[in-house]
Amino acid sequence: MTAVTQDKKQGIGNVRKMPIYLDYQATTPCDPRVVEAMLPWFTEKFGNPHSRNHAYGWESEEAVEKARAQVAAIIGADPKEVIFTSGATESNNLALKGVAHFYKDKKDHIITCVTEHKCVLDSARHLEQEGFKVTYLPVKQNGLIDLDQLRDAITDKTALVSIMAVNNEIGVIQPLAEIGAICREKGVFFHTDAAQAVGKIPLDVNEMKIDLLSVSGHKFYGPKGIGALYVRRRPRVRLQALINGGGQERGMRSGTLATPLCVGLGEACAIAQAEMGAETERLRMLRDRLYKGIMDQLPEVYLNGDFDQRIPGNLNLSFAYVEGEGLMMGIKDLAVSSGSACTSASLEPSYVLRALGVDIEMAHTSLRLGLGRFSTEEDVDQAVEHIVTSVKRLREMSPLWEMAQEGVDIKSIEWAEH
């Protein structure tokens, strides 16, 4: 941990005491080793990696190509199959729109899933407006898609199946290899948004028969503003570019590459690849400690999403009879996210939790707790204490808890929805 992070945690000197960070699915801090690798590429090594005529360009190109190889390595790809983008949102836009547009004369159908990230769903909506047909697969109560439903949804007009690797809210891992096998058998391209998966679970584009895969740097200790898209060469996937220009990235994404960001993404991949095994074990122990600490002390807490098919750094819990935003205010020493409506601009609770069939009332009571590389046992113990204290206090203030204790069935009451 860096000195600055340490100071913030302890509130030393003039630095404001920051809450314990438990929101690793929202973003992660850059690993100091990543920053160190990036620094020379801002100043003395500033060349344009596309400059072919001098040493400034050559050294930058070499750095970018090394980074590309590091990204390729963590997903079992060939470096030639990796293109850099500004992040997973761009990668997902490019995968969906790029494939749909290129193959539109023969195919006009794509398949995705209701719990995808907004950037996939919104890209799909835009394609629908252009006349493409989109199937949104439901998920089962555990957050995973039904493979038979996927198989049934594929037609001879289907160009692409886009199913995320790991869900950002509930951390569940979709059966990628099984999906890949179905898509390959049916001759349909398989794209996966792996923003929450890269660096956290083993991925192999060949074993899993993945044709396109989106990467986001800042979700695994790399910098913000950089991501990548894996695009398979054999059998070849073709895309219509979204950004036109000098033809960089094999014409699929024009624009001068940001050398420091590429280097940072590459370094983040190398570190994650080397440390994944031990880190997974450590996070699983912390996660289990957090889960057990809460469940042992509080009744009526429910886990959203599958427990086993889940990345180790995620818990999504519903605390019945306690509203999520009210709870977050009580645990202000913890930085977490809520599935409650009140935290977002819209007044709808999490569409992901709703898709699992979680009651709308229970969706309002959910918290996402994300653990990561800099989480400690002490963080977890403090989090348990804060959460348990706050939930108990708020339940004492909750008319719903009171009714439940009195044996009143809350569903039997006719509420005036406002």
Partner 1 sequence: MAYSDKVVDHYENPRNVGSFGKDEAGVGTGLVGAPACGDVMKLQIKVSPEGIIEDAKFKTFGCGSAIASSSLVTEWVKGKTLEEAAAIKNTEIAQHLALPPVKIHCSVLAEDAIKAAISDYKAKSGGKTEAAE
148 lies in the binding site for partner 1 (CB under 8 A): no
Q: Which is nearer to partner 1, 49 or 349 (CB)?
A: 349
Contacts of 147 (CB under 8 A, 6+ apart): 175, 178, 179, 182
- Alpha carbon 260 to its chain centroid, in Å, reads 23
Candidates 58-66, 255-263, 282-290, 394-402 — which segment interacts with partner 1 by CB under 8 A? 394-402
Contact (Cβ atoms closer than 8 angstroms) between residue 265 and residue 222: yes
Which of 30, 183, 269, 342 is the catalytic position?
Answer: 342
Which residue, 169, 154, 84, is CA-closest to 354? 169
**Least Å from the CB of residue 415 to partner 1:** 3
Instruction: For residues 216 and 290, give the distance between their C-alpha atoms in angstroms, rounded to a whole number.
Output: 27
19 lies in the binding site for partner 1 (CB under 8 A): no
Q: Which is nearer to partner 1, 252 or 363 (CB)?
A: 363
DSSP H helices, 32-107, are 32-38, 55-74, 88-102
Contact (Cβ atoms closer than 8 angstroms) between residue 180 and residue 209: yes
**Least Å from the CB of residue 409 to partner 1:** 12
Q: Token pair for residue 331?
A: 């645990």
Among 105, 148, 308, 396, binds partner 1 (CB under 8 A): 396
Candidates 192-200, 286-294, 321-329, 375-383 — which segment interacts with partner 1 by CB under 8 A? 321-329
418 lies in the binding site for partner 1 (CB under 8 A): yes
Candidates 1-9, 26-34, 181-189, 315-323 — which segment interacts with partner 1 by CB under 8 A? 315-323
Q: Find residue 137's DSSP bridge partners.
A: 113
Q: How does 299-321 read in b/e, with b if 16+ C-beta sit within 10 Å?
A: eebebbbbeeebbbbbbbbbbbb
**Is 342 in the active site?**
yes
Q: Which is nearer to partner 1, 214 or 390 (CB)?
A: 390
Among 215, 315, 322, 380, binds partner 1 (CB under 8 A): 322
Helix (H) or strand (E) holding 415: none
Name which of residues 360 to 389 contact partner 1 (CB under 8 A). Answer: 360-361, 364
Which residue, 205, 155, 200, 203, is CA-closest to 180? 205
Q: Which is nearer to partner 1, 106 or 415 (CB)?
A: 415
Name which of residues 325 to 354 contact partner 1 (CB under 8 A). Answer: 325-326, 329-330, 340-343, 345, 347, 349
Summarize as ranges the residues that interact with partner 1 (CB under 8 A).
321-326, 329-330, 340-343, 345, 347, 349, 360-361, 364, 396-402, 410, 415-418
Q: Would you name the residues annotated as active-site residues?
A: 342
